[in-house]
Structure 1
C-alpha cells in the first residue's frame, strides 16, 4: 500500500486485473471512472462495463461521464484530489486539463512494448504482423496518442498458435503486476521516465469487421496470423457459395492449388490453397449455423476437393 489517493480509469475486462490488484493491495482508490452503460448482445440489453461491476462489488464510487473532456467531468475528478490517476483501456482521449490534475501524473498501462504498436488494437496487430513477443509498458500520459514517456516494461513470448483472446488474458495479468511495481516507485519518486523514439513506432488502429476478410492469394503464414489476430473479434471470414464463412482455428501447410481452392476435406480438417502454401481449417462457422470442428461441419455441409472459397459471387467448383 502506497497511501496515494488514486483515481482509476478503465472500462473493459482487460482493465479489471489491474483494478483488482489495487484493491487487494489496500490502495486508496477514491473513485473509478468508466464508460457509460451500453446496449450489448443480440438482445441489446443495457449492461455496465466490467470495471464498473468490479468497483461496485467493492464499494468504490463510480463516475460515468459521456465525455471525460467536458468541464463538469474534469471538475468532478479534480474535487477528488487524486495524487495519481491510473488509466487502463479507458476508451477516451484525456485532455491536458485532466492530465495536469494529479501531482504524480497519469500512468497508463499499455498493451505493447512501446514505442511499437501505439493505438487502440496493439494485441491484434502484433499477432497479425507475426511478432514473436509482446508485453506491456507503463508510461506517463501526455496529450498525444500513446506518446508519453515510458516507465517500466514487461515482455512475454507469443506462441505460434496463440490468438488475441489468450494474449489478452496474459497481458492483462502482466499489466497488473507491472502497474504495482510502477506505483511503488512513483510513491518513492524513484521512476526514471524515458522518451519514446518516434522513428521506432508503428500504429495499431482500431479493428474493423472488413479487416477480417481473407485474401486467399496471400501466403499461408500471413493468413494464419490474420485468423489468430482476428480471434475472437472481429473474426476472420470468407464466403462459401455466397454464404458468410467464419474461420477460427487453423494451421499452415504445404499444399498447392488455386487460391481459395479446397484441396482436401476430412474429419482431420479442411485444407485450402493459398497464394503460397495452404491452410488447414480446424474450426469454422457457416452463416446461420453454429461454430463447429471440421468433422462436425462436414457432416452437415459436404465440401468436395476443387470447391472454391472466396468472395461473394465466386463460382463454386
Structure 2
C-alpha cells in the first residue's frame, strides 16, 4: 500500500516504522506536520491508501481523516487520552502501560481501535521507555492494524474493549515540581524520569532557574540539607534528598538561548568547590573467559572530545589485557551518535571544538582499526547514527540487535562530509557500489538491510533486555573457538596489506581536508544545521529524502519545464 506518515518529526519510532513497513513492500512517504495546508497538499500529491501518525502533537485536519483511514499511534492503553500519556504513567508509578492504534475522528484519542498492546513498565526514564517498550509495542500494533485493514476488517469501539475513557491534560511543571524537603529519592528520580528528554524538570541550582535531566541514584554520599549540592563526579553534580542523594547528569538553564549540557559544565565555578566522589561510571570494563567487555553509556550517545579521549585511554588499557577478544558495548538506547553537537554549539569557537571532537573520534577509530592482536566486536544494542555507525564498523565484526535503527550518513547535518575512516571502512566491508549507496541515501536502515549491505555481520535475535547476556555467550564462544589464532593471523595480514595499498593516514587526511571546509569554509550550512538541531528549531519543510511525494512532484515539474 501507499502509506503517508504525518508526524511532528522523524523520531525513533517513526524511523522504526518506516523501516519495518518498507521491508514489507509498502511504499512510504513522510510529511512533517507544519500546518493544515501542507498536510492536505501532501495527501493530494501522494494519494495514500492510508495515513499513519506515529508522533503527532495536534489533530489531523478533518478533510483528511474523512477521506481515508488515518491511524494515530497513542502511547497509552485503550481509553487513555491526552498529550502526556507516558509522562503521567511514570509519575503515577504505573506498573503496566500500553500503546493503542486508533482511527482518527473528531475527538482526540477517542476513535475506534485497530490494534493495541500492553507492556510491563520498567524503572527507567521516559526517553528509554519510549525507545524500547513503546516502540516495540507500537510497531507490533501498527503492523497488526495494517494487516487487518488489508483483510477488510473493521476497528472496534473502546466500549467493546471494556476501556474506560480517561483524559489527562498535558503535564505542567507544577505537577512534577520537586519538594526537596519532603520528596524521597525514589520520588525525585521518578519526577525527573517523567520529563527526561523533554522538557526536563524545572528547579533551581546555585540561584539559577534550571531544567534537570539524566538523574541517577547516588550511594555512600554525606548527608546534607535536602536540595543542596554535595559532590561532583565527571559531568554530574550530586544533590541531597531527605533520605539520600541523586546525581544530576545534565541541566539546562532557563531561557530562550540555552543548551542542555553536563551539570559541571553549566556550573563550572560552583562545581570546582565540590568534592570529587565516585559516582556515574560511563565507561566500565570487565573480563570473562578470555573476553574483555568495554562498556560505554553516554547520554544520548553523544561523544565529545573529552569523552572520546577517556574511551581511548580505556581502550588502550583493555588492549593490554591478556584477552583474545574485546567487545565494544555502547548504551542500550544509543550505541553512539558521534560528535557531541551540544558541546560544540556551547564552545567559544564551534569550529575549533568541531575540529577537536572529530580528531578525538578519529584517534579512537584508528586505535580500534590498528588493533591486530585481538578480535574486536561491536555489539550494537541501541540505535546509532553518523560517526557512531562508522566507529562501530571499525571493529572486525558488528553484531546488531534485531530492531536497531542505523543512520549511516552525515549529509543532513549541513552536508557534513564526515570522518572516522568511513571512506576506508565502507568500501572495505560493503564494497564500492554499496558504499556509494549508503553514503548518498540519507535514510534510516534496519538490521536486515545493514546485514545485506555489509554494515553488519550478524543479527542478534534477542530483545533489548536479553541482548547483553546473549552477546556475552556469543563472544565467549568465539574467543574460545579452535581457529581463533588463525583468525588473528589473517586479520594482521589483511591490515598490513591494506596499509601497503593506502595508509590510514591518507584516508584520515583526505576526510579531514573535506571536513575543514565544513568547519572553517565560506559555506555555513553545517553551523546553521547544527544550531537548528541543538535549539530544536522546527523544520519549515520535510526533507526530500523522506518526502518522496515531493521529490516526484519536483521531478515532474522539471520535466514539464524542460519540455516547454
Q: TM-score, normalised by structure 2?
A: 0.40
1:110-130: per-residue Cα shift (whole Å, max 9, x none)? 1111312x2222222211222
Are 2:127 and 1:201 aligned? no
Moved more, 242-251 or 11-20: 242-251
Please list every run of 5 or more consecutive structure 1 residues that lacks an aligned counterpart in the other structure: 36-65, 304-317
1:164-220: per-residue Cα shift (whole Å, max 9, x none)? 111111122431232112101111023441225784413151x56676642224432
Aligned to 2:194, the other structure's residue is in SS state: helix
Of 75, 80, 83, which residue of structure 1 is paired with 2:49?
Answer: 83
Q: Note if contact 2:86-2:126 (Cα within 8 Å) is conserved in structure 1.
A: yes
- Cα gap change, 1:252 to 1:141, in 2 (>3 Å): farther
Of 236, 248, 266, which residue of structure 1 is paired with 2:214?
Answer: 248
Are 2:56 and 1:93 aligned? no
Which residue number corresponds to residue 149 of structure 2?
A: 186
Q: Note if contact 1:235-1:247 (Cα within 8 Å) is conserved in structure 2.
A: yes
Which residue number corresponds to residue 127 of structure 2?
A: 165
Please list every run of 5 or more consecutive structure 2 residues that lacks an aligned counterpart in the other structure: 276-564
Are 2:20 and 1:10 aligned? no
Q: Note if contact 2:14-2:54 (Cα within 8 Å) is conserved in structure 1.
A: yes
Which residue number corresponds to residue 222 of structure 1?
A: 187
Which residue number corresponds to residue 118 of structure 2?
A: 155
Are 2:260 and 1:260 aligned? no
* Per-residue deviation, 1:299: 6.1
Which residue number corresponds to residue 199 of structure 2?
A: 234
Query: Aligned ranges for residues 11-50 of structure 1 at < 5 Å?
Result: 11-12=8-9, 13=11, 14-29=13-28, 31-35=29-33
Which residue number corresponds to residue 177 of structure 1?
A: 140
Separation of aligned partners in 2, 1:282 and 1:32: 37
Separation of aligned partners in 1, 2:22 and 2:169: 31
1:33-85: per-residue Cα shift (whole Å, max 9, x none)? 213xxxxxxxxxxxxxxxxxxxxxxxxxxxxxx422x4x85365246443322
Which structure has the bigger radius of gyration?
2
Which residue number corresponds to residue 59 of structure 1?
A: none
- Cα gap change, 1:79 to 1:236, in 2 (>3 Å): closer
Separation of aligned partners in 1, 2:117 and 2:179: 34
- Cα gap change, 1:97 to 1:110, in 2 (>3 Å): same
Count of aligned positions: 258
Which residue number corresponds to residue 134 of structure 1?
A: 97
1:222-259: per-residue Cα shift (whole Å, max 9, x none)? 32211111112212243233134535323389x99865
Structure with bigger helix share is 2
Which residue number corresponds to residue 272 of structure 2?
A: 300
RMSD of Structure 2 on Structure 1 (CA): 3.6
Separation of aligned partners in 2, 1:85 and 1:290: 37
Tell me: higher relative CO, structure 1 or 2? Use CA pairs within 8 A at least 6 residues apart: 1
Separation of aligned partners in 1, 2:22 and 2:172: 34
* Per-residue deviation, 1:286: 8.3
Separation of aligned partners in 2, 1:33 and 1:286: 30
